[in-house]
Structure 1
């Protein structure tokens, strides 16, 4: 295990290889609603100049030109220009690999396909492209990404987890709702509230918190969402929610990329990450050692790719609660920041990544709103916009605030709020 390699170097440290990013989250979310976006464009800023980025839709050329003016992003971008959400990026590649194969042939390097989440189609796309797959089989990915299965794996590894129940929904059975309600009420005897989590990471709508009110309606809401299985657990008084990021290379090597603090609204919904805040050394060591046990088990199972293990820290202990056995949203942020550090030869000691929104606008208009904090290619205490694909429609985008200390990050965030840019 090493600790100094960048995530990009973990994917490939061979200059004769072409890293191809397919950062489409649709492969993880086969059931989609308005809360699930493709987000292919997040790889545009994270990629190095010689990497290849494939977009499911189209490129925001104003944003891309700005990135290139800051010496960020890739020289090679393919746009599939999909107009609907019916087809994932990987399906588009399988249906028409020609545009990608043309670039591969032109560049003359061995391709390495690097998707957001590894499923059967991602394996198929890699084969069609003649590429190695920086990923794993669908069976292995789902084994760890499924919250219920992951919890059982932790118990097998003798890692303490939050007490609770796994419950399977059978809406056709009239008694099924009464069984779930009975479990919730049992937990409410000694807890003020209960959290119910879908075992498949189907975005924020898979999270439910209840104090025992309208449980029959809650059951039907969960059943109608399509969830087949849920975890029912006490909602603990959490003091922090660290995310520990690792990767397993194609050769089975294990790399640790550090622990981030997550920003969660109401203790439930993830809205961002912070890098630079120091954990209590005992908590850090426990999380690191626990994660190493889990990641070693994953390596033995043949897993390859990025891993983000979520923990909660509370009076009752420190518990792993979720294994994001895929790229994490903050994985791309780490890559962008690493690229900036290499360009400036200066470390970025603190950064904060948050989901934000403003009134719908073009990227040039957003750049005006973010001034004077907009990153210019060299300034540390600044803001870097990401994931701007929905900007002109909904006003939604993300920002990375980079600064010398947390005090400056908070000042910049407050300044953004005053300029009409707020957490979403």
Structure 2
């Protein structure tokens, strides 16, 4: 009777797993259709907002009601984010999954909405500004002018002329201060740089948070349970590499030595060999379960990290303006530091990654990555990497100092040379 109840419980669990697998497969197959429908619905919602609240007869009333405009801008922000995420999901999934053939009307409408908010929103739905100076704090203006902002932000690494750079900056500053509309230009430049900075920080947060969330969620809720179930069902090997096996054997030997030591000093009464054998058997079973869990965790790390990498690439591809903003933002931070700060950071970077003690750090990092992925560390490959990669990194850094930093900030190079000496 007990066996019958156990068999019935096992069949119920298998039925639930089968239904779950079938539903998960169907959900995966329907990914293109589901993603496109979500993007299409968000585009329709934006159209509805434009028709109901941003019509021409309501613009004058809306100017005097900034709370309404802020509410509408927040809604349009939300719907545009939904469109971008789901459209990227549709574009990726349609390469290896079937998608409906009657979807072109939806795609045309979605692209129409996205194009309008990328290029010419000022003529479409933007409320005219009250002041003569354009108000770039509007979220509509942000979508319309972010490309212009990035193009108008002067690169820090521009080529030098005949005159020294500092003298040119001094003349430009005097010329700007003598202009009649210099205050408006200063305010406009500040607002433009602020918009670029906000976009860079937002994109940087997305590049960090979204891959991490993708990696953790996929691992904890999908990959690890699937790998654990597969290994148990197919009676896979407990140890996935030789290092895990040696670690388990060493721990079992230490446990046996501890039992014998306790028996010799009288802490434990283990005079019967069968008792010691039973305790060793319990410890071996515990170690087998522990290292099977570690192996499943390492295997799931491989797939989860791959999904996190895909998420990172998708965010980078779908947010190219943000990547450009990050580059501009980092350039201004790096080249805006004082000469002493630049020299300090360069020395810190070289000592950590290229210096005398860096091989030990690289060895720890590479062994940690190998253990994370369930691979046995190959010390020959690690030593080869340590012998070549820091040298290449040092060469690249020296070329950057000679090619760019020496041209942009010669005093920083001189400070670096004095600090090294």
* TM-score greater than 0.5 by the shorter chain: no
| TM-score of the two chains, using structure 1 as the length reference | 0.18
More strand by share: 1
Determine which structure has more spread, i.e. the larger CA radius of gyration. Answer: 2
Higher helix proportion = 2
Q: TM-score, normalised by structure 2?
A: 0.18
